[in-house]
Amino acid sequence: MAEFILKINGAPRTVNVAQDPEQGGVGGDTLGLTGTKYGCGISLCGACTVHLDGVPIRSCQTKIADATAGSITTIEGLSGNRAHPIQKAWVAEDVPQCGYCQSGMIMSAAALLAKNPKPEDKDIDTALGGHICRCGTYQRIRQAIHRAARSGTRPGTTPPGGTQNDRNDR
C-alpha cells in the first residue's frame, strides 16, 4: 500500500493505493467522486477523462506519480453549481442517454472551448475523436458545444498548452 497526495478540485486528497505508482488509474470511486467513469481501461473510450492542469487526460492511463505534480479537475470540480456554459448547454440540448460517457465528453468539450471559443465541427470531431458513446449522442454533443460557444461565456478552465495525446504518450 502506498500513500499519495493529489490536488483534486482545488483541495489536497490523500489516496492509498495498493499498486505500483508507475501504473495508471486512481479510481474516482476511491475518493467518493463518482462522476468520472471507468470504461475500457486502455485509453480507447474517453469515459475516464479528467483535466490535469487544464488539459484533458485519460485517468486510466495516467501515472499517479505524474498526477501528484499537477492539479486535477474532475466533472465535480468543473463548476460548483453546474453553471459551466458547457453543462448548461448539455442540459438545454438534452444530450445524455445512458450517461456513462458523458462526463468524459464534457471534460474534453470544456477544454476545447477554453482553447477555442468558436470551434467548427472539424475541431469538435478532433477534440472528441477519442471518445466513444455507445448510445450515439454525437450529434447532440456537437449541438451542445455550438450552443455553449454561442453563449459567449468564456469557460473557466484554460489548458496551459499541450494536448491529451501529449499527456497520454508520456
For residue 47, state whether it binds ligand FES (rule: CB under 6 A).
Answer: yes
How big is the CA angle at 50 (ends 49 and 53), to the nearest 5 degrees? 135
Nearest approach, Cβ of residue 69 and ligand FES (Å): 20
Nearest approach, Cβ of residue 56 and ligand FES (Å): 11
**CA–CA separation, 32 and 13 (whole Å):** 11
For residue 40, state whether it binds ligand FES (rule: CB under 6 A).
Answer: yes
**CA–CA separation, 30 and 86 (whole Å):** 26
Among 33, 75, 101, 128, interactor with ligand FES by CB under 6 A:
101
Query: By the 8 A CB rule, do 158 and 151 touch?
Result: no
Burial 94-109 (b: 16+ CB within 10 A, else e): ebbeeebbbbbbbbbb
Among 62, 137, 143, 164, interactor with ligand FES by CB under 6 A:
137
Q: Which stretch binds ligand FES (CB under 6 A): 5-13, 85-93, 100-108, 150-158?
A: 100-108
> How many of the chain's residues bind ligand FES (CB under 6 A)?
23
Nearest approach, Cβ of residue 118 and ligand FES (Å): 25
Nearest approach, Cβ of residue 152 and ligand FES (Å): 27
For residue 138, state whether it binds ligand FES (rule: CB under 6 A).
Answer: no
Sign of the alpha-carbon dihedral angle for 44, 37, 169, 126:
positive
Bridge partners of 58, per DSSP, are 49
Residues in touch with ligand FES (CB under 6 A): 38-41, 43-48, 58, 60, 96-102, 133-135, 137
